[in-house]
Amino acid sequence: MLIVLMAIVIGAIMARSPITGGLARADKASVDKQAAKRGLPLPDDLRPVITDRLVRREKTLQAWSAAGIILGSLSIVVVPLFYGWHTGDIFYVPLILGGFGIGSILGRLRLVRRGVPSLPGRSQVTRSVRPTVTDYVTTGEVICFFLVPVSIVLNVAGMWIFLGLLPYIPGEFNGRYGLVTAVNIVLLLLWALMPSAARKFVATPQYAGNDFELAWDDAERTSILRALGDGAVGMTAISAVFTQGVVGELILHPMSVPARRI
């Protein structure tokens, strides 16, 4: 099961790499497809720098996602050492997917903090109105973003309410719910970093030599901010997988072991 799960996650990384397909080199046709998708022309003088930006963004996400997968895989070995219980197949899914998701989120934060690189010798763009995050993403996307912590808190609260209704908890489940709560706290802390990071990202100066270059800069900023928002929404899935996974395991358990405190 672990091998199959790893193959699925690696396939997901490849599928999210439309420019390189997960390989080292960019495909010219894929770059042209991205330009058509954005509705922007791609002059020959801009092609190298735009291609470099697209590839760099993909490679950053690939690297951080792979690091997350490694972290999730290591946790399968490390967690039993601290808690004295074996994760088992049912925990492979949340640990691997959780590591993959958290790695992807950190990669998106890295993109926002790094900003969009500009060509040397370009003049700074002066706008009559200072841009904000909502100039690059829709109001609906912003609303979804701010509903993320609500969803995470509800997941954790629901888990603990369910546990409180049980007459006892099998002793072998000791520590699992504290660990799941800690994972959700980490997700909330990562989410808390995102709003200020997005505002600082939008406030960074733009440099462009012509309107085409400025349009591509705006498009890249939009892509990065949307990737950040997608990562935030993905946190709700990670939270749900962990909380519902452990609750589901408890529901299916025969509860034949005497209870101990959580």
Residue at 259 is within a domain: no
CA–CA dist 91, 104 (Å, integer): 20
H or E element in which residue 238 lies? helix 211-252
Contact by Cβ (8 Å): 69, 38? no
Residue at 35 is within a domain: yes
pLDDT the model gives residue 143: 95
Residue at 197 is within a domain: yes
Model pLDDT for residues 69-83, shown as the tens digit of each residue: 888 888 877 777 765
Residue at 247 is within a domain: yes
Least confident of 16-25, 59-68, 192-201: 16-25
Q: Tell me which long-range contacts 211-218 makes (C-beta under 8 A, separation of at least 24).
A: 212/40, 212/41, 212/43, 212/46, 213/46, 213/119, 213/122, 214/125, 215/40, 216/40, 216/46, 216/50, 216/53, 217/116, 217/118, 218/136
Model pLDDT for residues 194-204, shown as the tens digit of each residue: 999 999 999 88
pTM: 0.83
Residue at 225 is within a domain: yes
Residue at 232 is within a domain: yes
Q: Tell me which long-range contacts 184-187 makes (C-beta under 8 A, separation of at least 24).
A: 184/152, 184/155, 184/156, 184/239, 184/242, 184/243, 186/102, 187/102, 187/152, 187/235, 187/238, 187/239
Residue at 190 is within a domain: yes
CA–CA dist 12, 129 (Å, integer): 39
pLDDT the model gives residue 249: 75
Q: Please give the residue that has the higher pLDDT: either 146 or 90.
A: 146
**Does residue 184 have a pLDDT over 80?**
yes
Q: Please give the residue that has the higher pLDDT: either 21 or 99.
A: 99
Q: Please give the residue that has the higher pLDDT: either 19 or 154.
A: 154
Residue at 261 is within a domain: no
pLDDT band at 257 (very low <50, low <70, confident <90, very high): very low
Domain count, the chain: 1
Q: Please give the residue that has the higher pLDDT: either 11 or 153.
A: 153
**Containing domain of residue 171, as a range?**
2-252
**Does residue 137 have a pLDDT over 70?**
yes
